[in-house]
Amino acid sequence: MKITSSFVPVLAVAALLASGLAVPVHSQAATEAQAQLWHERALTVDTHCDTPFKLLEKGWDIGRYHKTGERGSGCQDLPRMKEGGLDASFFAVFVGQGPRTPEGHARAKKKADAILDAMDAMYEEYPGLCGRALTPADARRLEQEGKRAIFIGMENGYPIGRDPALIDYFYRRGVRYVTLAHTSDNDICDSSTDRRDPEDRGLSAWGRQVVRRLNELGCMIDVSHVSDRSFSDVLALTRAPVIASHSCARALSDSPRNLTDDMLLALKKNGGVIQLCILNDYIKQPPANPGRDQAFAALWKKIDDVYGGWGGIKNKADRDRMEAEYDAIDARYPVPPVHVKDAVDHIDHIVKLIGIDHVGIGTDFDGGGGLADCRDVTELKNITIELARRGYNEEQVAKIWGGNFLRVMQQVMDLAQKK
Ligand SMILES: [Zn+2]
C-alpha cells in the first residue's frame, strides 16, 4: 500500500484497532480506520470493468502504476488494484452491437478473440501480479497469494452469433458470465436502450437456447442492459440464479438500465444479485443538457467517421487529442457531480427492499464508471467508509464486497449439468 500523509492518522488508529486496544468508535477517524480494516480483510470483487480495452491500447501497460487523474491513466492497473484493496475483478470482453448478419457475427467473434488473446498475454506477462480466475476458489487462492484474481465476463452475447458451439467455446476460453445484450437489440434478446426499435420483444427462441446452455455449463447469465421483458423472460426460464453485473435501482434514478422494485423483488426470489454500478447517469439522472448532448454526439460521429470508433484510434497522439476534446466538452457543459453517498443511497434502498444478501458492486471502471470521490480503484475504499458510517457491520460489508456475488457464482456452477 502506498502511504500518503492523509492516511497516516487513519493507519495509526488502524494499528490500535488491530492491537485489540479499546478505541472509541464514534470518531470519524476511528470509523474510517475500521472501514479500511474491513476493506482489507474482505475478499473484494468488482464484477464489471472495461479495462481490457486499455489492454489493447499501444503503450499502455497494466503492470505499471499510473497516477490517478493523469491523462490516459485509466481507472486501474494491477499495482493500483492492489493499493485500492481490490482482490478480484471481472474484465469485460466487450463487443459493441453491429449488423446481425453472418459477416457481422464473424467480425464480432474476431474482436472477442482479440480481447481474449490480450487477456491471455496479461496472465502470462504478470504471473506475479495476477492470475486467471475461473471459480470462487481461484479468487480465494489468488487473494492468499497476494495476486489480483482476474475473471472474464462477456458484455454482449453478439460474438456468439447464432452458433451454439460458440457458447461452449467462449466458456472454454474463460468467460464466466455473458451479458445477453448491450445497448441495442441482438439475436438473443432485446436491450433496455434500443431507441431505433422501442418495441420490447424480450428473449428470442435462440436466446432461450443460449440461457439453457449457459445453465448447463454453469456460466452466469447477466441481465444488466437487457430490456424489462427480456429480464422477466430470463427469470422465468433459468434454473440458476442470475446476476446484474452493473445496474442500479430505478426507484432512485429513472433510467431503463436500472432495475425497478418489482424486478429487484423477482431477483431476490431467483436468488440472484444486483451489483451496483457507480456510473453517474445510472445513480442520478442528469438534468437536461442539450449543448452537452450535441457536442458529444458530434465528437462521437467524428471519431466514428475518422477512426471507425474509439477502439480504432491506434496512435497515442490521436487518442490524446480526442481525450482533450472530450475533456473540453465536459468542462464547457459540466454535469453536477455524483458522489459515493449517492451510490450508497442505492445500496440502502436495495437492502431495505430485498435484504443484505442480494447486492454487490460492479464499477464499470474504464467504461464510464467512477464518481467525484471514487475516481479510480484506489478510491474504492470510500464506499466501504460510507457503508461503515451508515452502520453496516463488517459481515454486511463483506457480503456487499463479494460474499453475495461469490455465493451466487458457486450456486450457478453447482447447478451445472455438463454434457
Ligand atoms: Zn455496460
Query: Domain spans of the chain?
Result: 28-287+337-414, 290-334
Q: From ligand 1's centre to the CA of 224, what distance in Å?
A: 7
Q: Mind listing the pLDDT tens digit for each residue in 144-190?
A: 999 999 999 999 999 999 999 999 999 999 999 999 999 999 999 99
Q: From ligand 1's centre to the CA of 182, what distance in Å?
A: 7
Q: From ligand 1's centre to the CA of 234, what distance in Å?
A: 18
Q: From ligand 1's centre to the CA of 18, what distance in Å?
A: 39
The yes-or-no verdict on residue 11 having pLDDT over 60 is no
Question: Which residue matches cell numbers 478480484?
Answer: 88
The yes-or-no verdict on residue 108 having pLDDT over 90 is yes
Q: From ligand 1's centre to the CA of 72, what distance in Å?
A: 20
Gyration radius from the chain CA atoms: 21
Q: From ligand 1's centre to the CA of 155, what distance in Å?
A: 7
Q: From ligand 1's centre to the CA of 96, what distance in Å?
A: 10
Helix (H, G, I), strand (E, B) or coil at 220: strand
Q: Mind listing the pLDDT tens digit for each residue in 202-223?
A: 999 999 999 999 999 999 999 9
Confidence of residue 26 (pLDDT cuts 50, 70, 90): low
Higher pLDDT, 20 or 286: 286
Q: Mind listing the pLDDT tens digit for each residue in 245-261?
A: 999 999 999 999 999 99
Q: From ligand 1's centre to the CA of 145, what distance in Å?
A: 30
Residue 313's pLDDT is 83
Which cell numbers hold the place of 153?
Answer: 465476463
20: left (phi over 0), alpha (psi -120 to 50) or beta: left
Q: From ligand 1's centre to the CA of 320, what distance in Å?
A: 24
What is the maximum span of the chain, computed from C-alpha positions, in angstroms?
A: 66
Q: From ligand 1's centre to the CA of 183, what distance in Å?
A: 8
The yes-or-no verdict on residue 56 having pLDDT over 80 is yes
Residue 287's pLDDT is 87
Q: From ligand 1's centre to the CA of 76, what distance in Å?
A: 17
Q: From ligand 1's centre to the CA of 151, what distance in Å?
A: 16
Alpha carbon distance, N-terminus to C-terminus of the chain: 45
Q: From ligand 1's centre to the CA of 246, what distance in Å?
A: 7
Q: What angle, rounded to 10 degrees, do the helices at 261-270 and 340-354 form? A: 60
DSSP string computed for 88-106:
EEEEEEE-----SSHHHHH
Q: From ligand 1's centre to the CA of 264, what distance in Å?
A: 18
User: Percentage of the chain surpassing pLDDT 70?
Assistant: 93
How many other CB atoms sit within 10 Å of the CB of residue 291?
Answer: 11
Confidence of residue 13 (pLDDT cuts 50, 70, 90): very low
Q: From ligand 1's centre to the CA of 11, what distance in Å?
A: 36
The yes-or-no verdict on residue 5 having pLDDT over 50 is no
Strand ranges in 230-371 using DSSP code E only, listed in sequence order: 243-247, 273-276, 359-361
Superfamily of domain 28-287+337-414: Metal-dependent hydrolases (3.20.20.140)
Q: From ligand 1's centre to the CA of 180, what distance in Å?
A: 11
Report the mean per-residue pLDDT for the chain: 92
Residue 7's pLDDT is 38
Q: From ligand 1's centre to the CA of 36, what distance in Å?
A: 29
What are the φ and ψ backbone dihedral angles of 167, each rounded to 5 degrees? -65, -50
Residue 2's pLDDT is 34
Residue 370's pLDDT is 95
Of 150-154, 367-371, 394-398, least confident by mean pLDDT is 367-371
Measured CA to CA, the distance from residue 60 to residue 316 in angstroms comes to 9
